[in-house]
Chain A
Amino acid sequence: MSKPFSGLRKAQVYLLFLLCCWCNAAFSDAIDFEQKKIQIALGAEPPDLNYLRATDQVSFFIIEHVMEGLLAYDEQNHLIPGIAERWEMDEQDARFYLRKNARWSDGEPVTAHDFVFAWQTVVNPRTASRYAFILAPIKNAERIIEGKLKPEQLGVKALDDFTLEVRFERPCAYFLNLTTFATYYPVRKDFYLKNTERYFADVNNMIFNGPYVLDEWTHGASLHLSKNKNFWNADNIQINEINIPYISSDPTVIFNLFRNEEIISTGLDADTIKMALQERMQIKKFNLGAVFYLEFNHREERISSNIHLRKALQQVFSAEELVYKVIGLPGNKPAYSLFPSWLDGEKEKFFKEHPAKKIPVNIQAAQKELALLKKELNLKELPAIVLLTGDSPLASKEAEYLQALFKETLGLEIRIDKQIFKQRLAKMSSGDFDIVLAGWGPDYNDPSTFADLFYSRNENNHGRYHNETYDHWVQIAMNNTDQKIRMHAFSEMQNILIDDVVIIPQFERGVVYVENPGIKNVTRRIFGGDPSFRYAWLEATED
């Protein structure tokens, strides 16, 4: 009876063999040294490449490679000339002199008019750009965004084709940093008007002035970047092609792809680190720039508006234990302040000039605070406290840890409210929480990108923290350009944040990753697109 199957079996084996041969031929490697081509994976499909409106990291990564602003960052993340060759700036206005050889990918020159048009479009409320506020230092910008003035009244003017004049609403110490930001990139009027809503929606709705062009985009599946021959600095771009054949948010998948030598780098998590050590990969780390903290709800009806409760929680929480034991991934740093360690101060790093007070763990003191709270509120038992959190694995882990910690040390009942991203934001804005696990990624290199968060008029101040003194220092930092005065103001704000327990800082987010040794000088960035391949080159290793 086995006869009918033997034929089949032979065929199967033969088929399998053919299959393997054919499969093997269909692969491309992480690096092609001859074609100067690399392969990478993305965590998600870019949600919106229209840089006037883009808000997310994946889109910024692509935009970084296809566009350039007035200024740019070099491989050490210092400011260097971009489309602007040189500039003059004082407290009232700034002038940018554009280089004459800067071209769009169709060969047309990049002019000052392109910047004027772009910025007017961004602040136009009809564009509905979420990053419009980042143009606020420019004269009239805020009132245009609110719909009170016309976009044409924005304080920016093209003196001639290659000279751009900007007038300021108030002095802005970090304006040059802002010009590297995607929302400040130029837009060519004729091309934009042809596409409007479809601008940068697909490869044929795009025009570039940066080092690469996006020439293939299969939605959800793959993207492909080739060197832009019309880029003014094309000679210094070493890598010819960036191929992105994989899109996955699963770190294990990305790691597996790296091990399979199909992509050039991957992030590591607790489990894959062990694998990387076992296979003796060279592990690198990078501080992503974002700070995570417990944000309290300061609305009066909430129990979290009581300072005793906040002080009690502050004194049982140890950022070190959280980072070293619970998160347990190198790269993350315990945080003691809202202002992360990479921020520049006047001469040195801000945290060296103005170290934050470390609050030691002191359970007895915390219990005393709790007793005071009960007395003040005249309660025997405290109501349960709502801890709002996102649905990422890390957030859940943290929330579970905190729940057990507060229960064990203070006997507090914590209710975890785990919500998907949008719902968590909705609850944060409406104030439907006592404590929220929050984080903030910086937009530009100045402490104010963090400090403004707790300004009473800031929409992103979800806990509605209101403190006249704090606001006063925010104003001072906002209206001065003298770094000494500004840094002093930030230091005062830092003290208030700690003494008044506005937040409990948790950690600075960092990553560890591995890279194919054949690629050199990949720039990691806190601002703008990360990582950047602008300055990278390839070098075959011996083995």
Chain B
Amino acid sequence: MKIFILKRCLYGLFTVWFIATATFFAMHNVPGNPLNDEKATSAEIRKNLEARYGLDKPLYQQYLIFLTNMAKGDFGISFTQKNRSVNDIIKAHFPVSAALGFLAIFFAGVGGVLFGALAAHYKNRWPDYLLIALVVITISVPSFVFAALFQLALVNLNLYFDIKLLPIAGWGSVQHMLAPSLILGLGTLAYLTRLMRSSLLEIENAPYIKTAKAKGLSESRIFFRHRLRNAVLPLVTVLGPAIAAITTGGFVVESIFAIPGLGKYFVEAVHQLDYTLIMGTTVFYGSYLVLMVLLVDILYGFVDPRIRMS
């Protein structure tokens, strides 16, 4: 088991290195100079600016410096947020994205199981059709359309009832998190609903359910103790992809709901050509996802001995 974990960790490190290298060279292939600004600057000032960001050195040196700094966990100073290091930015804004993401996963998980169960329970009756229709719409329409419409609906609701039901944008309290995380989790929620429904239906006629019925257990007991428990297990397998989807889904939701998460910063950094911030966030996100996959892997390893063997 130890060897398995060690191997996985080593492998994760390699992956991070690969991500960093790919990011670095993709970034340095970008035409244009991050130091350009509306006002032209004198040669002397330019030289000083380049020195501040280490842009005066040859590419391979910049790469080596980048790798060493990264190993130390230092991503440099941002080009646009001139007084802040990329580390500061990640430290300040990743927790926001993470909080949003975890709440989204929570909503998706609870909602997915609940709706999936409902749909399976009312199989081929109207609640099932309604839920399936909702799932289908959620999966097929781009998420930003939803987010924008949802916000609009919220404003009109607030105006209509003349009370402030939920904040429509911004950050700072738990209330601010509700609407955006719900939207963020919507895609995963829909996916989980579908999965839950089909896995519940699949085990409907499983031998152990038949046994339970034969034993004369109550319907609800069978449902909660046997069917639900067994149907929920496969959901764990989609945790990895779900985290990835929700992390990047944050870009849209954070922009629309004016949330100071890392995703919003990344998108802005791309538009501003903020080298250090782009590289920092990409490597950080990459490592974060690798770590998550690693954890899920190890978790499986514990749960399912077959994986350890292969």
Contact = CB atoms under 8 A, between A and B. Distances in A.
B260 A201 contact: no
Interface stretch (B168-176, B281-289, B297-305): B168-176
A130 B41 contact: yes
B308 interface: no
A49 B47 CA distance: 22
B158 A260 contact: yes
26 contacts: A1-B219, A4-B220, A4-B223, A20-B163, A24-B165, A45-B81, A125-B47, A129-B45, A146-B44, A219-B89, A222-B171, A250-B255, A250-B258, A252-B148, A256-B152, A260-B168, A262-B170, A420-B272, A421-B271, A421-B273, A423-B30, A423-B31, A425-B32, A459-B41, A460-B39, A460-B40
Contacts of B45: 125, 128-130, 132, 145
Given A130-B41, A246-B169, A197 B256 contact: no
Candidate in B80, B166, B170, B260 with the most chain A CB atoms within 10 angstroms: B170
A130 B273 contact: no
A419 B82 CA distance: 23
B39 A422 contact: no
Contacts of A253: 151, 168-169, 256-258
B144 to A, nearest CB: 11
Nearest to A259: B155
B125 to A, nearest CB: 12
B237 interface: no
Given A201-B83, A221-B171, A128 B48 contact: yes
B159 A131 contact: no
A3 B222 CA distance: 13
Contact of A220 (B41, B44, B48, B93): B93
Nearest to A258: B155
A260 B155 contact: yes
A253 to B, nearest CB: 5
B117 to A, nearest CB: 9
A246 B223 CA distance: 46
Contacts of B88: 219
A65 B109 CA distance: 47
B38 A422 contact: no
A520 interface: no
Contacts of A53: 82
B273 A420 contact: yes
A425 B32 CA distance: 8
Nearest to A219: B92
8 smallest CB-CB distances across A and B, nearest first, come from: A459-B40, A220-B260, A201-B83, A248-B258, A426-B32, A423-B32, A422-B273, A425-B36
Given A130-B39, A220-B93, A260-B159, A47 B164 contact: no
B267 to A, nearest CB: 10
A440 to B, nearest CB: 9
Given A220-B93, A221-B171, 11 more contacts: A4-B223, A8-B114, A23-B165, A200-B83, A246-B169, A252-B148, A259-B155, A262-B170, A423-B30, A423-B273, A426-B32
Contacts of A260: 155, 158-159, 164, 168
A429 interface: yes
Interface string B42-63: 1111011100100000000000
Nearest to A126: B48
B272 A421 contact: yes
A147 B44 CA distance: 7
B224 interface: yes
Contacts of B48: 125-126, 128
A247 B260 contact: yes
A298 to B, nearest CB: 17
A3 B158 CA distance: 34
Contacts of B33: 422, 426
Interface residues of B, number: 67
Contacts of A429: 36, 40
Nearest to A5: B118
A70 to B, nearest CB: 22
B213 interface: no
Contacts, number: 175
A302 interface: no
A468 B44 CA distance: 28
Given A23-B175, A425-B36, A145 B44 contact: yes
Contacts of A201: 83-84
Interface string A107-126: 00000000000000000011
B82 A246 contact: no
A538 interface: no
B36 A422 contact: yes
B255 to A, nearest CB: 7
Contacts of A50: 82-83
A248 B272 CA distance: 16
A256 B168 contact: yes
A254 to B, nearest CB: 9
Nearest to A53: B82
A193 interface: no
Given A125-B45, A197-B83, A247-B260, A1 B121 contact: yes
B31 A426 contact: yes
A22 interface: yes
Nearest to A1: B219
Contacts of A425: 32, 36-38
A3 B221 CA distance: 11
A47 to B, nearest CB: 5
A219 B220 CA distance: 50
A509 to B, nearest CB: 14
B83 A23 contact: no
Interface string B256-278: 11101000110010111100000
A3 B220 contact: yes
Contact of B258 (A129, A133, A247): A247
A260 B165 CA distance: 10
B175 A22 contact: yes
Contacts of B92: 218-220
B233 to A, nearest CB: 20
Nearest to B264: A220
